[in-house]
Structure formats: C-alpha cells, structure tokens
Amino acid sequence: MTEREQRELKTLLDRARIAHGRVLTNSETNSIKKEYIDKLMVEREAEAKKARQLKKKQAYKPDPEASFSWSANTSTRGRR
C-alpha cells in the first residue's frame, strides 16, 4: 500500500470510530480494512487489465505483405 492509501485507510477508520462514538473492536477494524483492501485490489486489477490490453494493441505485428523476413532467418547470436 502506498502512503496515500494508508492515510485514506486511517481516515476511514477514524470516521467509523467517530460514527460509532466509541473505540472500534478488532472485528470492526478488520472488516473496514478488508473492504478497503478489496476495493483497492479491484481498482488495481482494472488498471492492470487496461495496461495489458494497451500493450497487446501496441505490440509489433509483422507485415503480412512482406515477401521476405530477415529477422526469421538471422540468428540473434550471429555466426560463431
């Protein structure tokens, strides 16, 4: 978790504590943390999915009309 996300989690916990008017129990604290982390993971997964789609879209595609491909016939290590 980034520092910003940790601060946001502490803010959520403080708001819940104020709303209840007492110190939160471990169960209440853990449930708030779990909900927040689940939300973060969904957001990160969506961002990763977009990044994968963009990378796939921008991937090099060989020209199907080319009659000869040099890269297919030359070894990357060269002659020995």
The 10s digit of each residue's pLDDT in 57-68 is: 888 776 667 666
In angstroms and rounded to an integer, the radius of gyration of the C-alpha atoms of the chain is: 25
Residues 11, 19: contact at Cβ < 8 Å?
no
In a domain, 37, yes or no: yes
Query: What pLDDT score was predicted for residue 46?
Result: 97
In a domain, 14, yes or no: no
In a domain, 22, yes or no: no
In a domain, 35, yes or no: yes
User: How many separate domains does the chain show?
Assistant: 1
In a domain, 21, yes or no: no
Which residues constitute the domain of residue 49? Answer: 27-58
75 has a pLDDT exceeding 90: no
Query: What pLDDT score was predicted for residue 66?
Result: 65
In a domain, 32, yes or no: yes
Could you tell me which of 10, 35, 31, 13 has the C-alpha nearest to residue 22?
Answer: 13
8 has a pLDDT exceeding 80: yes
What b-and-e string marks burial along 10-35, b requiring 16 or more CB atoms within 10 Å of the CB?
A: eeebeeeeeeeeeebeeeeeeebeee
pLDDT in tens, 14-66: 999 999 999 999 999 999 999 999 999 999 999 999 999 999 888 877 666 76
